[in-house]
Structure formats: structure tokens, C-alpha cells
Amino acid sequence: MLNQGAVNAASVDPNGASAGAAGARRVHIVPVILAGGSGTRLWPVSRENFPKQLIDVVGSDSLLQATARRLDGFPPGWSVDASPIVVCGEEHRFVIAEQLQENGVAARLIVEPARRDTAPALTLAASLACAEGGDAILIVMPADHAIADVPALQRALECAARHAQQGAIATLGVPPTRPDTGFGYIRIGAALTAGGHAIDGFVEKPAEEIAAQYVAAGTYWWNSGIFIVRASVWLDTLERLRPDMHTPCESAFAGGHKDGAVFRPLHEAFLGVPADSIDYAVMERLTEPASAPAAASAPGVVIPLEAGWSDLGSWDAVWAAMEKDPNGNAGRGRVAFEGAVSCYAHSEGRLVACVGTANVVVVETADAVLVVDRSHVQDVKGLVSRIKAQHAPEADVHRKVRRPWGFYDSIDHGERFQVKRIVVTPGARLSLQLHHHRAEHWVVVRGTALVTRGEEQFLLSENESTYIPLGTRHRLENPGKVPLEIIEIQSGTYLGEDDIVRFNDNYGRCP
């Protein structure tokens, strides 16, 4: 734990000059991206194994990629780390690393053994930032939000960072443009000379009539979920307010290990961390009465954010964030509107046509179609819960499933067979594995395959095939410079993905 007195003694003034060191120095900022959400309200595009932060919902970049770009060109006088800390789960880490590498971002990944909400995620990030030799200001951003005006966001963040230099925990609040029951609200307090307001309180997602009163009052702002705080201030504040969370988080970090750019907390210790959000664990407690334990904690500050912010928490929010035709329709992919008004259509393959419709959302994927009235988009989350309860695969996975070596697409299946299209990126290879319940036929349709089958190893070119008997160790590799595509026909009594015994794997997936 860093000494808080030492942090305050070496604080930096708002112009970047050190009050405790000779000369001026630039203040170090570390972006922290929280990428562990599931985004079920954007089903069927967003699913458990490929959530909305990994999808290009409103632009050419995924939401994660757009988030990683948001501090590019930050105002001078600040030193922004080019290697953000990204907190995510094991199931998403390969896709996250791949997407960030596509944008030239060398991120540091913290892979959580289990989901514990945002407060433990930030605690791990703060511990890593302190352990790497500094008490940086952390700019903590969810990976699944949209920002239309990035310069306006950076101006708000710069103001918040000045407060964080002085030991405050700052957040960004969005002055509401309409009553909205999908957001939590921050009640703003006294105006501060350095900009922004003291935080007077937090309120939960309100009923519609209460939300209208909040907007009319002008003293309630939407809670953006973006936080700015010194790493040591967060750790010290959490230790005072939530020792039950701080202690196991500290143990999980201390017992963790690094594997290249990936940090893994100690699994057993992290499972003992209680799940809670940044708001509930800390922020709301900062506004408790002076007699409460929070009185000795860091002050809470809220800075206004007027930058076209959206949490994209529903298909209606996606519609609102997109450009529209003269009739208020917005679409993505192969869509057509005829006599439609205020509709949103999303196609991932087939043509989606809306004729004479009003205020509806239509979303098409390879294995599911959603049709919902825009006034009921919040009910999609309940629908997904029912699909999960039925153990239907559409709740968790797409027909096309990403893997660290490429992807596969389940083309067809029956009682005792399944057909997949498998694409392996150049230089990648699957694990050395066997199956207890199925045999496989492989037909190469593009590229060259290097096949390991038992003690054999051989090459297959286009239009060549091979057979992998049940119980035989095998591996598929792409030694070429173009993607390898094969058609795999599985046959057997059980065809689930858990019928894989791995002996060797480049991606750490062996037991």
C-alpha cells in the first residue's frame, strides 16, 4: 500500500507542476477499460460469449476499440499511458487482445477468474498500477459506451483529473436530455471553484414520473459510470469503507502472476471477493453523514459531460445514436424501409425489409430474429433469461464462434452429425486433442493444412481430405500465408464442445 501522506505531499497543481519536486513534470494517467459485461439487452447480436463491447454496434470499430482510442490526443501537460489496463474474463481475452492489436494498442490484460462487478475490477487495476512503479491517475471507462464528441469528453476528463490530483474521487455526470428510467442519477451539490460539483447523493433508476421531476429540477444528472481517481486513493478508500472486499482483492493480487501482458489474480482468493459495483461499494458511501465511516474518505466530485454520451443499454439507445432517414428510420447491414416510421433494422446477412411499420426494432442474425416494439426494448433482458432457463444455445453463443486460432461456423446439425466451417488464421494451430464420442472428416477448401493424426503428420491441399477416428489424438495447423478453411463433418453419439481432451495448447487451455 502506498503511503497516502507521501502522495499528498507530492501532489501536482492543475498546470502539471510538481509541488514537491524541482521543476515541472507531466502527470501520469493510466486508462482502465472495464470489459467484463454481457450486454444482454442487445441480444441477439450481443451474447454471453461475444458481448456488445466486442461488436461494431454504431461504427466501424467495436465499442472496445472506440473506447481504447478516446484518450488519443489528450490535452498537453498530461502523460497518458499508451498501454491501457483492460479487465476482462477468460472467455473474452483472446478476442479483446486481437481487436486491440488490430488498432495498434498493446494493452495489459487482467483476467478475472470470475465476475465480481466493477469495484473488484477497479481494485485489481489500481493494484497493478501501483505495483508497476507509480501512483497514476486512473481514468476508468466501461468498454461498451458510445461518445459522439471525444474532444468534449477529454475536456471533462481533464477537469476531473485535476480534482483527482488533489485526492478526490471524480465521476462524470450527463445532464439529462429527457426523462429516462434506464439510468441511475447523481444529485449534484455545491459548485466547486475548480469546476464541477460536489456529489450530494445517488438515486436508483426511477419511475417515469420521478425521472421527469429530476429533469425539471436540473439538479440530477445521469450516472455515466466513468470514474477518475488516483490508484492509491481508491485502494485506501476501499480499505476504509469495504475491508471485506479490499482484503481478499489484495490477497488475490499478491498471489497472482504475470504471463507476458496478462496478469492472473490468485483464483481461490478472488472467488472470496464479494461482488459489488463502484457506485455501491464506494461512491454512495462518500455522501453519508459526517458520523459515518465515509467521513474520513476522499471527497466525491461530479463533472458535467455533454459529449453525446450513450451507454447503448438497449436497441432504442442504438437507434437514438445513429443517423436516420427523413422518416426517422435507422439501419445497419442489408435493410430496406417502405412506408416505415421511426424503426431500427439490423441485418447480419439476410435482407430485412420493414414495410408500413412504426416504432419497431428488427434484428437478424444467423440463428435468431428479434422483433420488438421500441417502447419494450428493456424487456429483452427478461426474454434472454427465459431462453437461458431453457438451456437454449442462442442465449450464450452465436452460430459463428471465435477462437484464439480463428473461428468456426456451425453450418448444419442432426441427431448424430454436425457440419462446421473452420477457418484457421495463418501460423495458428488448434490444440493437440482427442474426442471420446465423435469421429471427424476434414475437407480442405482453401489453403494448406498441416495435420497431426496419431503418430502421422502430413499436408493437405485444397480438395483433399482426411478422416480422424474416434479416440485418436489429432491437431490442425495452418502453415501457410492465407487463411485455412476446412469443412468438418462430425459423427457420433455426442457432439458437444466439452468432448475435448487437450494434451498441448498454444493458448493455455490445457487443464
- DSSP symbols for 298-349: PPEEEEE--S-EE---SHHHHHHHS---TTS-EEESSEEEES-BS-EEEESS
The DSSP call for residue 3 is: -
Per-residue confidence band for 25, with pLDDT thresholds at 50, 70 and 90: low
In a domain, 251, yes or no: yes
Is the model's pLDDT at 295 over the cut of 60? no
User: Can you tell me the mean pLDDT for 255-274?
Assistant: 94
Question: For residue range 255-264, what is the model confidence (pLDDT) as tens digits?
Answer: 999 988 899 9
Residues 93 and 156 in one domain: yes
Question: For residue range 181-191, what is the model confidence (pLDDT) as tens digits?
Answer: 888 999 999 99
At 248 the pLDDT is 97
For the chain, percent helix, then strand, then coil, each to nearest 5? Answer: 25, 35, 40
Residues 384 and 306 in one domain: no
Residues 38 and 137 in one domain: yes
Is the model's pLDDT at 6 over the cut of 50? no
In a domain, 364, yes or no: yes
Question: For residue range 45-102, what is the model confidence (pLDDT) as tens digits?
Answer: 999 889 999 999 888 899 999 999 999 999 988 999 999 999 999 889 999 999 999 9
Is the model's pLDDT at 296 over the cut of 60? no
pTM of the model: 0.86
More confident residue, 18 or 424: 424
Question: What percentage of the chain carries pLDDT values higher than 90?
Answer: 80
In a domain, 145, yes or no: yes
Residues 330 and 284 in one domain: no
Q: Are 37 and 52 in contact (CB under 8 A)?
A: yes
Of 389, 410, 438, the position where a domain reaches its end is 389
Inter-helix orientation angle 231-241/118-131, to 10°: 130
At 289 the pLDDT is 58
Of 342, 370, 389, the position where a domain reaches its end is 389
Is the model's pLDDT at 11 over the cut of 80? no
In terms of residue numbers, what domain contains 251?
4-310
Most confident of 87-96, 283-292, 296-305, 422-431: 422-431
More confident residue, 21 or 497: 497
Domain CATH code at residue 477:
2.60.120.10
Question: For residue range 434-453, what is the model confidence (pLDDT) as tens digits?
Answer: 999 999 999 999 999 999 99
Say how many CA atoms lie within 13 Å of 414 toward its Cβ: 6
With CA atoms as reference, report the closest residue to 145 among 221, 68, 84: 68
**In total, how many domains does the chain have?**
3
Is the model's pLDDT at 414 over the cut of 80? yes
In a domain, 503, yes or no: no
Residues 385 and 413 in one domain: no
At 8 the pLDDT is 34
Residues 373 and 475 in one domain: no
Rounded CA separation 186/224 (Å):
9
- Arithmetic mean of pLDDT over the chain: 90
Question: What percentage of the chain carries pLDDT values higher than 70?
Answer: 93
Of 389, 410, 440, the position where a domain reaches its end is 389
- Residue 56, helix vs strand vs coil: coil
Rounded CA separation 173/280 (Å):
16
At 447 the pLDDT is 97
Is the model's pLDDT at 380 over the cut of 80? yes
With CA atoms as reference, report the closest residue to 460 among 452, 469, 451: 451
Q: Are 68 and 84 in contact (CB under 8 A)?
A: yes
In a domain, 179, yes or no: yes
Domain CATH code at residue 116:
3.90.550.10
Residues 323 and 420 in one domain: no
